[in-house]
Amino acid sequence: MSTELRPAVFFDRDGTLITAPVKDGKPGAIRSVEEMKLVKDAAAVCGELKELGVPLYVFTNQPDVVRGLTTQYVVEQINGAVQSALGIDEVAVSWSDDPDDPLRKPNPGLLTQLAEKHGLDLAESITVGDRWRDIEAGQRAGTKTVFIDRGYTEKHPDKPDLVVHELGEALDWIRETLGV
């Protein structure tokens, strides 16, 4: 059995792979699987990366469960639909509302757990997200980062490796960076 670590791509879920409702300039989460709509180019980007043998993971904060705004069942339905539609290997979730929880973004715990579980090389991997928390989590985990700037009225990430406005704009850079 090979112990060689592999690079992967880690995606945020809401606003990165599926559309997120925006209120007062900040993105939120959908409340049902029926509301799920893939963002432009998500299927093409994930499909091409899967064809090239790149492992794909989603890491997502879902504190609305502990806040009583939705249920874990609904979130898991949405995660399953995203996983099925895009060929995602695994979806890792932080249910916490506590900023000190090591699994809650911007902390890197979900990424480091996925890397340990699946033999992934974080230094050769890429994190893609639409919020500063996603990018900071990737940076803290030691990955390269792609920020999808959706124009939210909130803090921007500090020095992502690439800034784009649509996921599809990052595909060539991701392929080049991963060497695939």
Q: How far apart are CA 69 and CA 95, in angstroms?
A: 12
How much is the pLDDT for 169? 98
How much is the pLDDT for 69? 94
Question: What CATH number does residue 61 fall under?
Answer: 3.40.50.1000
Q: What is the mean pLDDT of the chain?
A: 96
Residue 2 lies in a domain: no
Residue 139 lies in a domain: yes
Residues contacting residue 10 through CB under 8 Å, at least 6 positions apart: 57, 58, 59, 111, 114, 125, 126, 127, 128, 138, 143
Helix (H) or strand (E) holding 128: strand 126-129
* Cα atoms in the Cβ-side hemisphere of radius 13 Å centred on 100: 0
Could you read off the pLDDT of 32-57 as tens digits, one per residue? 999 999 999 999 999 999 999 999 99
Residue 1 lies in a domain: no
Task: Give the pair of three-digit tokens for residue 52.
Answer: 């090239």
Could you read off the pLDDT of 79-107 as tens digits, one per residue? 999 999 999 999 999 999 999 999 999 99
Residue 121 lies in a domain: yes
Phi/psi of residue 143, nearest 5 degrees: -90, 165
Residue 109 lies in a domain: yes
Q: Percentage of the chain with pLDDT > 70?
A: 98
Q: Residue 11 above 90 pLDDT?
A: yes
Phi/psi of residue 115, nearest 5 degrees: -65, -45
Helices of type H across the chain: 42-51, 72-86, 109-118, 132-141, 171-178
Helix (H) or strand (E) holding 56: strand 56-61
User: Model confidence at 2, in pLDDT bands (50, 70, 90)?
Assistant: low
Beta bridge pairs of residue 91: 58
Residue 3 lies in a domain: no
Domain of 116?
9-178
How much is the pLDDT for 95? 98
Q: Residue 118 above 70 pLDDT?
A: yes
Residue 4 lies in a domain: no
Q: Percentage of the chain with pLDDT > 90?
A: 98
Residue 23 lies in a domain: yes
Give mean pLDDT, residues 169-180: 97
Q: How far apart are CA 76 and CA 60, in angstroms?
A: 11
Q: Residue 1 above 80 pLDDT?
A: no
pTM across the whole model: 0.97
Q: Give the dihedral sign, CA 135/174/115/10.
A: positive
Number of domains in the chain: 1
| CB burial string 81-102: b at 16+ within 10 A, e below | ebbeebebeebbbbbbeeeeee
